[in-house]
Amino acid sequence: MEGVDHLADERNKAEFNVDDMKIIWAGSRHAFDVSNRISRFVATDPVFEKSNRALMTRKELFKNTLKKSVYAWKIIKELRLSDEEGIKLRIFMDQPGFLDLHWGMFVPAIKGQGTEEQQQKWLSLANKMQIIGCYAQTELGHGSNVQGLETTATFDPKTDQFIMHSPTQTSSKWWPGGLGKVSTHAVVYARLITNGKDHGVHGFIVQLRSLDDHSPLPGITIGDIGMKFGNGAYNSMDNGFLMFNQFRIPRDQMLMRLSKVTREGKYIASDVPRQLVYGTMVSVRQTIVSKASDALARAVCIATRYSAVRRQFGSENGGIETQVIDYKTQQNRLFPLLASAYAFRFVGEWLKWLYTDVTQRLEASDFVTLPEAHACTAGLKSMTTSATSDGIEECRKLCGGHGYLWCSGLPELFAVYVPACTYEGDNVVLQLQVARFLMKTVSQLGSGKAPAGTTAYMGRAQHLLQCRSGVQKAEDWLNPSMVLEAFESRALRMAITCAKNLSKFENQEQGFSELLADLVEAAIAHCQLIVVSKFIAKIEGEIEGKGVKKQLKNLCYIYALHLLHKHLGDFLSTNSVTPEQASLASHQLRSLYSQVRPNAVALVDAFDYTDHYLGSVLGRYDGNVYPKLFEEALKDPLNDSVVPDGYHEYIRPLIKQNFPSAKL
Ligand SMILES: CC/C=C\C/C=C\C/C=C\C/C=C\CCC(=O)SCCNC(=O)CCNC(=O)[C@H](O)C(C)(C)COP(=O)(O)OP(=O)(O)OC[C@H]1O[C@@H](n2cnc3c(N)ncnc32)[C@H](O)[C@@H]1OP(=O)(O)O
Ligand SMILES: Cc1cc2nc3c(=O)[nH]c(=O)nc-3n(C[C@H](O)[C@H](O)[C@H](O)COP(=O)(O)OP(=O)(O)OC[C@H]3O[C@@H](n4cnc5c(N)ncnc54)[C@H](O)[C@@H]3O)c2cc1C
C-alpha cells in the first residue's frame, strides 16, 4: 500500500536513537547535514533519474553521463557549492564518468607533483573545467608493474621539448577513465630519457584533443576500449586507449616538483624518495576505503530491509510466516556484513587522518612514516574492496531470486563495484606490498629500532609469541584486550613464520616468490588486525546518543568474532586460540546476533540513504516491495505488447510445426 510504512514495526523495535547514529555514520553533524541535503536535492531532480540506465545503448548511456555531469557542474557553479558539497553531488549522482578522474586523479596529480608555477597555470584551467583531464598510467602490456611502462618521453635539447612516443603496441595507454572520448588533457606516465639515459617513470601534462573541435592532435591516436562487465554499470565511463607517434610537448610540461630537466637536458633528481611519483595512487587508495563502506552499506541496507519484509515457512495454523531475517543462517550471513560496513567506515576515518598526517610530514621533508602510509593505504584498499565485492554478491543471494532482478539494485552495484579489486592496484599485488613491509619490520626486531604505528604490536613479540589466550567463557570475547591479543598474536605469528621460511632461502627474492600465498595471508591478517583495533578504539572513545554505543559495541564484536570464525584455521594453527575458545566465540556471536536483530533495520536507516541512491525496489524505505516489483516488471519493453515481436516469425511456425524454409 502506497504511503504505508511496512517496516514501521521494525523501526519501533530499535533500542537506540537513529538520528544520533546518523551523525556517527556521517562523521559529524556538519557532514550529515551536507550529505542529507545534497542527496535529497539529487533525488528530486529529474535530470538525475537513473532507473532507465540498464536499457540504454552504450551511446545513449555515454551521452546521458555527459548530460548529468555537465548539469552537475552547472549546479555546483550556480549554487556556489563548496568542494565538499560538490563531491557529495557527484557521489549521489551515482554514475561513473569523466568527472571522477578529472577531480579524483588529474587535479590531485598536478597538485602533488607540479611545481608552484605549473599548479598556477594548469589548476586555474582545470578548476574551471576549461580543460578536462585524466590519469594515463596503465598500458596494454603493464598495469601492476609501473616500472615496466614503455611509453617514452625523450628530451630534445634542440627544441626544448619532450617527444612522447609509444614504441610498441603493448606501450599503448589502455584503461584510463575519461580518456576514450572526453578528456582534452592527461597526466601521462612515461619513461624519461635525457642524453640517452633512462631515468624511469615520470608524469607529464599532455594535451590530447583540440580545444576548438575536440579532434585528436596530430601524432595522437585515441579511442574507447569497448564494453565492460554488466549492463549500464561502469559502461558510462569512457575508458580509453592512446598511442603517441613522436608527439612533442614543451619541456615545462613535465611535472617537476620531485625532479627536473634543465634547458640543457640535465636531469636533477631531488632528495625525496622516488616513490612520491606514486603519490596520487596513495591518495586515491585512501578514499577507496571509505567508498568501500559506502558500497557495502548500500547492499546491506537493501538486504536487511528486504529480509525483514520477506517471509517464508513457519506458518502455524494458517498464521503469518517467518520473516527471513529471523533465521539464524540469514543473520550469520547478513550481520557480519552490517558490522563490516561500520568497521570500514571507522577505519576509513582513521586512514584519512593517517594520510593527512603523512602529507603534512612530507611537506616538512619528514619521510619516516611514508612506508607505513603506503602499506596501510595499499593493504586496507585491498582488504576492504575484496570484502565489499564479496559482500555485495552475498547480499544478492540473501535476497533470493528477487536479488537477481536488475531492479533489486544489486547486480548493477556489483558490476560497478567489483573492478575496485583491480583498479588503483590489483588487490593481491597490493597485499604483497604490505607483506614486504611486514618482512622488513620483522627483520628489524631486536635491532633497537622499535616498530611504531600499526606495527607497534610487533614490539611486544616476546609476549605475543608465548602468550595463551585467557578466554574462559563466552563473555570474555567481549573484552577488548582479549580480542586484540588474539588478533595480534595471530598476525605476528603468521608474519614470523613467513620470515623464518624466507630465511631458509639463499636468495630472498626467490624465497619471496615461493611463499607468495603465505605472505598474502600474513598481510591480510595484519590488515584485519588494523580494522579490529580501530573499531575498538572507536567504541572506547566518546560516543553520544541514546543507546548508540551499545549498538556499536555489538557490531564491533560481531566484526571481530566473525573474522575469527572465518579464519579459524589461522587462529588454531598459530595457537592463538584453542578449539574450546573458538567454540565460545561462536556462542558469543549467536548471542550478539540476537541483540542486533531488533535493531537491524534502524542500523541501516542510519546510513540515511535515499531511495534514489539505493536504486532498489527491495531496499525501499517503506518496504512496499511486491506492488513495486510488479510496476517495474510492467515497465520492461518486452511488456509493451501482449504478443511479442517474433511471434509470427518463430513461435507460431514452431507450435504449428510449419517451417516454410527449413529442411527437417
Ligand atoms: C564521486 C567520485 C569521487 C572521486 C573519485 C576518485 C577517484 C576515482 C575512483 C576510482 C578510481 C578509478 C579508476 C582507477 C584509476 C587507476 O587504476 S590508476 C592506475 C593504478 N595503478 C596501480 O595502482 C599500479 C599498482 N602498482 C604500483 O603501485 C607499483 O608498481 C608497485 C607498488 C606494485 C611496485 O612498485 P615498484 O616501484 O616496483 O616498487 P617495489 O620495487 O615493489 O618497491 C620499492 C620500494 O618502494 C615502496 N613503495 C612502492 N610504492 C610506494 C608508494 N606508493 N609510496 C611509498 N612507497 C612505495 C615499496 O614499499 C618498496 O619499499 P622498500 O622499503 O621495500 O624498498
Ligand atoms: C574499471 C577500471 C578503471 C581503470 N582506470 C584506470 C585509470 O583511470 N588510469 C589508469 O592508468 N589505469 C586504470 N585502470 C587500470 C588498473 O589500474 C590496472 O588494471 C590495475 O592496476 C591492474 O593491473 P593489470 O591490469 O596490469 O593486472 P595484472 O598485473 O596483469 O594482473 C593479472 C593477474 O596477475 C596477478 N599478478 C600480477 N603481478 C603479480 C605479482 N607480482 N605477484 C603475484 N601476482 C601478480 C594479479 O594478482 C592478477 O591476478 C583501470 C582498470 C579498471 C578495471
Quick check: helix, strand or coil at residue 51?
coil
Q: Which ligand is nearest to the CA of 419?
A: 2
Instruction: Kindly give the number of the ligand 1 atom that is closest to the alpha carbon of 105.
Output: 7
With residues binned 3-state (H G I as helix, E B as strand, rest as coil), the percentages for the chain, rounded to 5, are 60, 10, 30
Going by C-beta distance under 8 Å and a sequence separation of 6 or more, which residues neighbour residue 232? 53, 54, 56, 61, 412, 415
Residue 377 CA: nearest ligand 1 atom is: 53
Distance 279 CA to ligand 1 centre (A): 8
Q: Determine if residue 177 is labeled as part of a ligand binding site.
A: yes
Neighbours of 356 (CB within 10 A): 11
The residues of the chain scoring below 50 in pLDDT are: none
pLDDT in tens, 34-71: 999 999 999 999 999 999 898 999 999 999 999 999 99
Widest pairwise Cα distance in the chain: 93
> Is there an atom of ligand 1 within 6 Å of 433 CB?
yes
Residue with CA at minimum distance from ligand 1 atom 32: 433
Distance CA 153, CA 53 (A): 41
Cα distances from 216 to residues 212, 282, 574, in angstroms, run 11, 31, 59
Give which of 331, 371, 139 is closest to 243, Cα–Cα. Answer: 139
CA-nearest residue, atom 5 of ligand 2: 176
- Active-site option among 393, 424, 485, 488: 424
Euclidean distance between CA atoms 444 and 450, whole angstroms: 8
143 lines ligand 2 (CB under 6 A): yes
Regarding the beta carbon of 371 and ligand 1, being less than 6 Å apart is answered yes
Measure Cα distances from 406 to 15, 51, 54, 232, 394 in Å: 34, 10, 8, 10, 16
To the query of whether residue 316 is one of the catalytic residues in this protein, the response is: no
**What pLDDT was estimated at residue 663?**
55
Give pTM, 2 decimals: 0.97
* N-term to C-term CA, the chain: 54
175 lines ligand 2 (CB under 6 A): yes
Return the closest-CA partner of residue 349 out of 606, 488, 531, 609.
531
Inter-residue long-range contacts of 17-22, CB under 8 Å, 24+ positions, other chains counted: 17/545, 17/546, 17/547, 17/548, 18/602, 18/605, 18/606, 19/545, 20/544, 20/545, 20/546, 20/548, 21/545, 21/548, 21/551, 21/602, 21/603, 21/606, 22/606, 22/607, 22/608
Ligand 1 neighbour 560 (Cβ under 6 A): no
Question: Does residue 240 line the site of ligand 2, with CB under 6 A?
Answer: no
Q: Which domains does the chain have, with CATH numbers?
A: 1-49+276-664 (1.20.140.10), 133-275 (2.40.110.10)
Contact 174, 132 (CB under 8 A): no
Radius of gyration of the chain (CA): 27
Atom 37 of ligand 1 has which residue's CA nearest to it? 147
108-117 pLDDT, tens digit each: 999 999 999 9
Please name the residue whose Cα sits nearest to atom 52 of ligand 2: 423
Ligand 1 center to residue 375 CA distance, Å?
Answer: 10
* 443 pocket-lining for ligand 1 (C-beta < 6 Å): no
**Residue minimizing CA distance to atom 18 of ligand 1:** 424
* Distance from Cα 426 to the centre of ligand 2, integer Å: 5
Strands 220-224 and 247-250: what pairing? unpaired
Q: What are the residues whose beta carbons fall under 8 Å from the beta carbon of 113, sequence distance 6 or more?
A: 187, 203, 255, 257, 258, 276, 277, 279, 280
Binding site membership of 135 for ligand 2 (Cβ less than 6 Å): yes
Contact between 135 and 101 under an 8 Å Cβ cutoff? The reply is yes
Which ligand is in closest contact with the Cα of 421?
A: 2
Q: What's the pLDDT at 661?
A: 62
Is 138 annotated in some ligand binding site?
Answer: yes
| Residue of 170, 172, 175 to test ligand 2 pocket, by largest number of atoms within 8 Å of CB | 175
Nearest CA to ligand 2 atom 9: 176
Atom 43 of ligand 2, residue of closest alpha carbon: 429
| Closest atom, ligand 1, to C-alpha of 278 | 53
Q: How far apart are CA 186 and CA 209, in angstroms?
A: 10
- Residue at grid coordinates 569523466: 98
ipTM over 0.95: yes
Q: Are 564 and 457 in contact (CB under 8 A)?
A: no
Going from the C-alpha of 426 to that of each of 21, 49, 144, 435, 509, the distances in angstroms are: 34, 33, 7, 14, 20
Alpha carbons 39 and 91: distance in angstroms, whole number: 9
Q: Is 177 in the pocket of ligand 2 (CB under 6 A)?
A: yes
- Kindly report, residue by residue over 609-657, the tens digit of the pLDDT: 999 999 999 999 999 999 999 999 999 999 999 999 999 999 999 999 8
Distance CA 342, CA 340 (A): 5
Contact 247, 206 (CB under 8 A): yes
Where are the alpha helices (H) located in 95-173, listed in sequence order?
98-101, 107-113, 116-127
- Residue 603 phi/psi, 5-degree rounding, is -65, -30
